[in-house]
Amino acid sequence: MPLSLGLNAWFVDVKPIIGMIHVDSLPGTPGNRLPMEKIIDKAVAEADLYSEMGIDGLMIENMYDLPYIKGRCSPEIIAAMAVVATNVKKAARLPTGIQILAGANLEAMAVAKAAGLEFVRVEGYVFGHIADEGYFDSCAGELLRYRKMIEAEGVMVFTDIKKKHSSHAITSDVDIVETAKAAEFFKSDGVILTGPATGQPANATEAHDVAKAIQIPVLIGSGVVEANLSDFWDSASGFIVGSTFKKDGFWANSLSRQRISDFMKQVTRLRNTN
């Protein structure tokens, strides 16, 4: 069943915790050292651990493919991510999404369709911004037309707004609430709020204001830890968690069973008291 049909149950009743799977450097990228078989095995092992620890969903991302190419990726990356995604989805059987860096949103949609994933994470959906890869223009019109063309309407689009690792000087007169409203108007299925960089928290006041202003889910996409989870709990519809689940809270380290367990205990406490 497409996730969109269970939107209320997943985002209102569950407030899903979505665990990040940072796929190892893929073939053709400067950091690649492992063959595809081992890359797949590692991603599947992380998916299995997340599933065992009660994580509600998964997000696959090619974060190790540094430096990123702006707005696109090469054919071998698309093929590799499709194979990884298919294996992860088959292993964990959890709602799963994908992001392909940097801003390779059409490619991510194609992989999601091919691998049977439920959502994509998209940067540059509305308004323009300057990221460390360069200038990104908005892509909403092109992306949703492409989704329609490949009959992937069941794949939800979650949209970063005022995204991390970016300058928003050119839209400084458009605040985050108006940006969220624009994403909703352009048919985004949900917006993602982040801090200024990986592992840094979003602004809890902004999250509250955005949640009041729009009717689509608001996800917190960086810097969520046990200590601040309650600050976002009432405003957020879900959480994308990566660095917190890694040893020493650093995104490039391996997953820590203990850190996942401690975080999910806090999730359980909040679910039981709300």
pLDDT tens, 45-80?
A: 999 999 999 999 999 999 999 999 998 899 999 999
Question: By percentage, how much of the chain surpasses pLDDT 70?
Answer: 97
Q: Which of 116-130, 162-176, 192-206 has the highest mean pLDDT?
A: 116-130
Residue 3 has pLDDT above 80, yes or no: no
Preceding amide of 102 cis, omega within 30:
yes
Q: Give the pLDDT confidence of 89-114 residue by residue, as tens digits.
A: 999 999 999 999 999 999 999 999 99
pLDDT bracket for residue 229 (50, 70, 90): very high
Give the number of other Cβ atoms within 10 Å of residue 223's Cβ.
Answer: 23
135 has a pLDDT exceeding 90: no
**What pairs with residue 193 in β-bridges?**
220
Q: Choose between 76 and 131: higher pLDDT.
A: 76
Q: What is the per-residue pLDDT for 1?
A: 41
Minimum mean pLDDT range among 97-106, 161-170, 214-223, 253-262: 161-170
- Residue 37 exposed, middle or buried by CB count within 10 Å (0-12, 13-18, 19+): exposed
Structural domains of the chain sorted by starting position, each given as residue range(s) with its CATH number in brackets: 3-273 (3.20.20.70)
User: What is the average pLDDT score of the chain?
Assistant: 94
Mean pLDDT of 186-207: 92
Beta strand segments in the chain, E? 17-22, 57-61, 96-99, 119-122, 129-131, 134-136, 156-160, 166-167, 190-193, 218-220, 238-241
pLDDT-based confidence at residue 7 (cuts at 50, 70, 90): low
Distance CA 18, CA 192 (A): 12
The answer to whether 139 touches 120, Cβ cutoff 8 Å, is no
